[in-house]
Structures are given as structure tokens and as C-alpha cells.
Structure 1
Amino acid sequence: MSEHAGSAGGRAAFGANGAAAVSAVPWGRLPAEVVDPLRPHIDGVAREMIEWIQQRIPEYARPIDSNYGRKMWNAVRRAVSDFLVVATSPDASWEPLRDIYAEIGAYEARKGRSLESLQTAMRLSGQVAARRFTKDATRLDWSQETLGMLTESLFAFLDAISEAAAEGYARVHAGPGDRRDHLRARLHALLTGDGLADRVEITRLARSAGWGTPSTIAVVAVRGPGNAPPPVLPPPVLADWRSHAPSLVIPDPDGPGREQLLAGLGGLRAALGPTVDLSRGAVSLRWARRALDLADTGKIRADGLVRCLDHIPTLVAAAGLDLIESAIPQRLAPLMDLTPAQRDRLVPTLLAYLENGRNAAAASQHLNVHKQTVRYRLASLEDMFAQDLGDPSRHLELLLLLHSWQHLIEHSDP
């Protein structure tokens, strides 16, 4: 965040000198007595925002006493202070603030950081402020109308400074056709950012960027091409190659011909998240990144594009792996007393038997092992587990524990 973030002075708000979209917002409606009790808490709020940001955005996880940490502190604290001015000042110029936040965006661009991360940090800061306002409403005896006006002003302010930062970011990369690229980058950030994306804003940006608004999307997490230029993908794909963790937004991923949209990825390792509503791209991206991490470590076998919906048991188990690792010694205790070689035979046999509807013949085909061998192993397993193998209430649990043991913990092959 920019070293200039703390240099703007004076009272600033969004009035006649601001952009039309900004000046349409009813700024300065709150009396000073509502906002003044918040001013002593500026440092505490800024500190909480920074902690929230650093927990969720690896790019910004720097020591607060580092050079960048101090810049970040100045920028966040300045934004909190600026908002408290805006909330009570309807008649000052927006231009000084536009310049400040445009410079923040330009600084991030010059340092090679992503616009997505910067705008996500702004949204996370808004979440912290909104939570604080809810608590302050009780402490300060605000009416629902007052809380509503303050919250509305907060998110309008965040939209405005995000817009200014994006303009500054775009200026660094100015060139032919760059406005369209800039709009597509903003649209990608909005669709994949934390929380529910605003559908009205999505539609507005999509129209400006010449991107047909789909009913659903899926997000692809990609391991970047390193020093090589990124692949050129078809226009319907919104790509972010600048981030430390690149991703792609695929419109209407279940429609006909959508496979061709990703044909240009070549040999890049990638994972396709689940199809979601237009406002829930962050969910698709989160699962895509988890699948890609598991593919990197060999816990998901990846030949080409990894599809989350092909690996639901592994993804769900990985999300609760600490619980599963704690449960295995108790729930699968009979297997714990065996030698590793014995477990390597019996665990995949029992898993294949359960996965194939308790059909020994189908399990033998799956394992490529003779039927009699499978039946011999199953007889041993039935002795170990007594009635558990025939208990329907244990079926799903056994499947999950055995699947996790084989694919996430032991990595044994049948």
C-alpha cells in the first residue's frame, strides 16, 4: 500500500466535484455527535482490520514494523479516518481522496501485486467496520435508521475508494485496449472476492467490459507459467495472471462446448471448482485451490485438469483431516495391530468391497485380484470387525475413514 496514503489533508467528501456515480450517494447525512464517539477508536479498528487482512491474504502478511507494514498501517488508518470525515461532510471535494487512493492502486501495480488482493483487502476492512458498527449501535444507543445510514455510507465509500484504486492501478498498465482489460480485471476480482458478490455491480461491470452475464460460473485455480507468457484463452474466460495464485472465471461451465474454453491451458496444472451461482465465485475458487494443493502433493491423482466434483470424498476428508486422524485408531482399531504389509492388503480390499456394494466379485475386479483371495481377506476382516461390516449405520463412516487412510494418510496402492 502506498507511502502516500497518509499525505492527504483537509475535510473530504463526495460532492459536486466527484464522479456522477459517487455524487449520487447521499453523503454527509450523519450528525457529528453520531460519528465523534468513534474517533478515539480509529487505531483499534485499523489494527483489527490489518489482522483480518493478513490472516486471509498471504501477500499482505508482513510484520507491522517492516517498511511495508508501516505503509499498510498508514493506508488503513487513513481510510478509517477519511470515512469518518466523509460521513459528516456533504460539501467537500472528492478529488483529493481520489488522488490518494489512485496512488495506492498505482503503487501496488508498480510493485507487481494484484488488484484483486488490494480490493479484497478493502472488502475485508468493510466487514470489520460493519461488525464494529453493530456492536456500537448497542453501546451508543443508535436507532436502526442511524445504523442503516452509517452502514450504507461505509459500503458506498469502499466502492468509491476501490474504484479510485483500480483507476490508479490501470494507469500503470495503460495501453491500447487497456480500459477493457481493466474492467475485466475488476469483474474477475468482484466475482471471486470474499463474501457474496453484488449482482447489480456484476451486471454493470459485465456490460461495460463486453462480457455476457451468465447464470452460473465456475472458477479454475491455476499454477502460473513462471517466467513464460501466460496462455491466451478465449474471450469468455476472465483470467487473472497477475496474482500470486492465478485463477480463471468460466461462464456457464456446464453449457455445451465449455470444454474448449480451457483447451489452451496446455500443460499447466489446474483445478476446476464447482459450478455456483454468479454471486458465489469465492466458494468455487476456494475448493479449486484446495483441490490443486492436494494434486500438488499427490493426494489427488491429476492427469490434466482436476475437477472438484470428481474428488468430493477426498476434498471433504482433507477439510476435516485432524478429526479423521483422531478417529482412525479408535474406529479402525483391529487394523492398527496388523503389520504394514497386512494393512496394505486389507485396507484397499475392505474399501473396494464397501465401494462396490459389498460385492466380493466386483471388488476383485476393481483390485485386479483373484476372487478367492478377496474372499479370504474378507473372512479375516469379518472376524476383526464382528458385526460392524453389516451395520448400515457404520457404512458411510467406514467408507470415509478407509478412503482417507488410503488416499490422504497412507497413500497405499491396491
Structure 2
Amino acid sequence: MGAQKLFSDLLPGLIEFAPEIVGEIIDGIRVSIPDYDRPQGSPYHEVIRSGVEQNVLGFVEWLADPERPLERRNEICRRLGAFEAMEGRPLAVLQSAYRIGAQLGWSRIRDLLAEREMSAAAVSALADALFGYMDEAAELSREGYDRAKGEEHEKRDAARLLLLRDLVRRPGADRAALAALHPAADWAVPDQVTLVALPADTPAVRPLLDSDLLLDLHAPEPYLLVPGPLTGRRRKMLESALAGGRAAVGLTVPAARAADSLRWARRVLALVADGVLDDGTLTLCEDHLVSVWLLADGALMDQMARRRLAFLSRAGERRRQWLADTLRAWLRTRGPAGRMSEDLGVHVQTVRYRMRVLEELLQEELTDPDNRFATETALRALWLRGRSDRTGDGTATTGP
């Protein structure tokens, strides 16, 4: 008997026994896969029943007319895949159900063939038709699963972005209240966070970033949030993901102070861009707290420098240079002339002469703790600002 003749002869029996076949497949799936063992009549059971029924009837229709479109079957299969995604199960569970259904369906078909004379080629063609049909159904479910997962991720990512922006724009916001405001984010707000500032158009490799990080890579000033402190493992992860780019890491703070961490990180990143700081791929705020503090208000620091270092502007360029070097060495070491001589690379008598000049120029400012601190701060800040060779009033200096 040929394949087409066999298919035609089988149709009446398949149509007659279709309800029984559907029941057997459902029972077989429920026994074999605990996730699908739900009470009959429950909504969950109805999803399974509908899927099995549409696939069995679809196969019968396909045998009757291979050119007939199977829109209903196709839609049901895609919905089954989407249902699995929404339930949070791996697709492998549904794929196992398809295999069980195909095996049980073929077992019943073999029963119908038991009293028929047929060629091995015809039987093989029928088996190929059944298992090919089920493979196609499984692939349709994969499409539905992937689409639902993609939509789910898009919704989750959008919710997480809103949550992140609320964290940095609403200082002091309650953690529980933020989480409740963005339930689709599926992200528990941690006790502490660390913000990381990134350059515009940063080349971050998204797949290398940990999945629990929150990102705003399309902001004019991109940034991301690391839950908790920046551990050694997290640091390596960021360095790999940045692919040679740069980033600045703020301090680890309570979640309600996320805006502070981001503000400090962005300040550090600006100092990196200006050439003031350079630690490689990642520059940590905690390694440069004094520098960040000193340069927090550039205009104010300019004014302070003009007042504290005005004496340098009255000296000639060459004298101005060694005065600044000597003053910096003394403020840094508070040491005897011999030690300053070693630091500056000049004779000890030269150091003593320079110090006498400075004492005449500054007088009590060298002995008053507050004045001394202000002068040292101004010198240090000016050196940091671009590692420049200029003071705030145009006076040439060198690094400390």
C-alpha cells in the first residue's frame, strides 16, 4: 500500500479515536512531567488539553490536505511557548511534552495499522510525517517562547531603568517604596550601592556585565549601578566589559544616597578627562578623596589661590619657580634644611636662603596653622588642576 493511500485509509480511524488519543497523551504527559500534573478542569489543565487537542486535530487535517494552512494549530503552539516563558520554566520541559505526545501518538497509529497490509516505505513515510509535524510544532513553540522572553526582558529592563533614575533623582527615597513603585523591575533595592560614571558613547560590552547591574547607557552622561560594594570580582567584570574604555567609580553609599555616589563618580571622570587623574580603565573615587574635595569648586579655588599665593606674582619668573618649589617642599615635609635639600636637589645653604626669603614674604602665615593649611591647599589644588604649569593668577609652578 502506498503512502498517500495509507494516509487516506487511516483518516476515518484517526478521526474516530482522536478524543481517546488526546486523553492518552494528556495522561502520559501528566505522569511523566510533574510540572504539568494539575487537576482536571483547572485552568492550567485546560491549557495543556487545548494544546494537545489542537496538535492532534491539526495532524489529522494535515493528513487530509497537506496544503491546508494550520493557523489555529500554529497560534496555539506559539501561545504554549509564551505560556512556558511566563511561567518561568525552561523550554526543555515543553519540548519533552512534545516528544511524549509524538511517541504516544505513533503508538496509537501503529495499533490502527496492525491489521493492514502495507509496505515498510509507507509506514516509514507516515512516521516521518508525524514526527516532522511535531518537530514543526515544537519550533513554533520556541518562537512563542523567545518572543515572550524578549518582551518580558524589554518590560523588565524598562522598569529597571525607571527605578535607577528614581534612585539617583530622588535622594532619600525609601527602598521599599521604590521597589513597590516598580514591581516589573524584579529587582530588590539593596542596602548599599556603588555608582559608576561612563564617558559618552562608552564601548561597554553588555553581555559581559552582571545581570543584576542597573544601566542607563543612553543618558547624556551614561552610568550604571552596582549593588553593594565594588568587589574584586566586580572590578574585573567591569574592566572586561569596558573593552579598554574608561570609567570612574563613586563611593559605596546607602541606596538612598545613590545620587551622591554618582555625583562623585562623574567628578572623578571629569578629572580623568582633564588629565588630573589616571589609574587606567577604572579610577576609584576612594583613592582620590582629597583631590576630588580640593577641586570640587574650581572658581572658588582660583580665588583662594589668588589670595594665598599673591606673593608669587610679585616675584620674577625664575624666582617665582624656586619660591613655589621650596614652599611646597617645606609644607610637605616640615623637615630640616638637610631633608629639603635632598628633596629639591640643591645645597642646604640655598634652602636656608630661600626659607629666609619666604619668611620675609609670608611672615606669620608660615606659623599660623590655619594660614599654613590654606596655602598648602591652594598649592596642592593648583598642581592637581591639569597637572598644569600655571597658577590661578598666571604664575608658573611645578608639581609638588
When normalised by structure 2's length, the TM-score is 0.51
Question: Letter of the aligned partner of 2:256 in structure 1?
Answer: S
Residue 214 of structure 2 is matched in structure 1 by 238
With over 3 angstroms needed to count, the CA separation of the structure-2 counterparts of 1:213 and 1:245, relative to structure 1, is same
Q: Is it true that 1:214 corresponds to 2:214 in the alignment?
A: no
Cα distance in 2 between the residues matched to 1:376 and 1:230: 61
Does residue 1:188 correspond to 2:164, yes or no? yes
Local SS of the residue matching 1:273: strand
Q: Which has the larger radius of gyration?
A: 2
User: Residues 179-219 of structure 1: CA distance to partner in whole angstroms, max 9, x if unpaired?
Assistant: 33223222221222243333223344787545454221121
Change (3 A) 1:260 1:383: same
Q: Which blocks of at least 5 consecutive residues in structure 1 are unaligned?
A: 1-173
1:283 aligns with 2:267: no
CA 178–195 in structure 1, closer or farther in 2 if over 3 Å, else same: same
Contact 2:190–2:255 (CA<8 Å) still a contact in 1? yes
Question: Per-residue CA shift, 1:243-271, capped at 9, x if unaligned?
Answer: 12110112221656443342222322211
**Which whole-Å CA distance do the structure 2 matches of 1:217 and 1:225 have between them?**
23
AA at the equivalent of 2:284: R
SS at structure 1 position matched to 2:306: helix
- Superimposed CA distance per residue, residues 127-177 of structure 1 (whole angstroms, 9 cap, x where no aligned partner): xxxxxxxxxxxxxxxxxxxxxxxxxxxxxxxxxxxxxxxxxxxxxxx6462
Q: CA offset at residue 388 of structure 1?
A: 1.7
C-alpha spacing 1:228/1:181, structure 2 compared with 1 (3 Å): closer
Answer yes or no: is the 8 Å Cα contact 2:274–2:386 preserved in 1: no
1:295 aligns with 2:272: yes
What SS does the corresponding residue of 2:256 show, helix, strand or coil? Answer: coil
Q: 2:239 aligns with which of 250, 260, 263?
A: 263
Q: CA deviation at 1:222?
A: 0.5
Distance 1:254 1:359 in 2: 42
Distance 2:359 2:272 in 1: 34
8 A contact 2:213–2:227 mirrored in 1 = yes
Question: What secondary structure sits across from 2:210 in the alignment?
Answer: coil
Q: Which amino acid aligns with 2:165?
A: A
Aligned match of 2:297: 320
- Which residue type is aligned with residue 324 of structure 1? M
C-alpha separation in 2, matches of 1:350 and 1:180 = 58
Q: Partners in 2 of 1:201 and 1:246 — Cα distance?
A: 25
Distance 1:194 1:249 in 2: 15
Partner SS for 1:275: strand
SS of equivalent to 2:221? coil
Identify if the C-alpha distance between structure 1 residues 329 and 410 changes in structure 2 by more than 3 Å, giving closer, same or farther.
farther
Could you give the per-residue CA deviations for residues 278-302 of structure 1, whole angstroms, max 9, x where no partner exists? 1111111112112212221223345
Provide closer, same or farther for how the CA distance between residues 253 and 227 of structure 1 changes in structure 2, counting only shifts above 3 A: closer
Aligned residue pairs: how many?
242
**Given that residues 218 and 274 in structure 1 are in contact (C-alpha distance below 8 angstroms), is that contact kept between their aligned partners in structure 2?**
yes
Query: What is the distance in 2 between the residues matched to 1:244 and 1:202?
Result: 24
Greater CA drift, 350-359 or 320-329: 350-359
- Alpha carbons 1:219, 1:285 under 8 Å: kept: yes
Q: Partners of 2:285 and 2:253 in 1: how far apart?
A: 12
Question: Structure 1 residues 364, 219: CA separation in 2 closer, same or farther (over 3 Å shift)?
Answer: farther
Change (3 A) 1:360 1:192: farther
The aligned amino acid for 1:297 is: D
User: Paired residue for 1:330?
Assistant: 307
**Who is 2:100 aligned against?**
none
* Amino acid paired to 1:233: L
Query: Which of 183, 196, 202 is equivalent to 2:178?
Result: 202
Give identity over the alignment, percent: 31
Q: In structure 2, the residue corresponding to 1:249 is in which secondary structure?
A: strand
Q: Do the aligned partners of residues 376 and 305 (structure 1) sit closer, same or farther apart at CA in structure 2, a change above 3 Å counting?
A: farther
Q: Is the 8 A contact 1:360 1:371 kept in 2?
A: no
Q: Which amino acid aligns with 2:175?
A: R
| CA distance 1:341–1:232, change in 2 (3 Å) | farther
Name the counterpart of 1:343: 320
CA change 1:393–1:305 in 2 (3 A) is same
Aligned to 2:284: 307
> Which deviates further from its counterpart, 241-250 or 195-204?
195-204
Deviation of 1:223 (Å): 0.7
2:392 is the counterpart of 1:391: no
Deviations 1:37-91 (A, max 9, x none): xxxxxxxxxxxxxxxxxxxxxxxxxxxxxxxxxxxxxxxxxxxxxxxxxxxxxxx
Inter-partner Cα distance in structure 1 for 2:368 and 2:239: 46
CA distance in 2: counterparts of 1:389 and 1:319, whole angstroms: 26
Q: Distance in 2 between matches of 1:228 and 1:409?
A: 27
CA contact (8 A) 1:183 1:205 kept: no
Distance 1:306 1:409, change over 3 A: closer
Establish whether residue 355 from structure 1 lines up as the match of residue 332 from structure 2.
Answer: yes
User: When the two structures are superposed, what TM-score results if normalisation uses the length of structure 1?
Assistant: 0.50
**1:273/1:348 CA distance change after superposition, 3 Å:** farther
Separation of aligned partners in 1, 2:180 and 2:326: 55
Moved over 6 A (4+): none
Quick one: distance in 2 between partners of 1:314 and 1:229? 30
The question of whether the paired residues in 2 share the 8 Å contact of 1:224 and 1:230 is answered with: no
CA distance in 2 between counterparts of 1:230 and 1:322 reads: 38
CA offset at residue 351 of structure 1?
2.7
**AA paired with 1:181?**
D
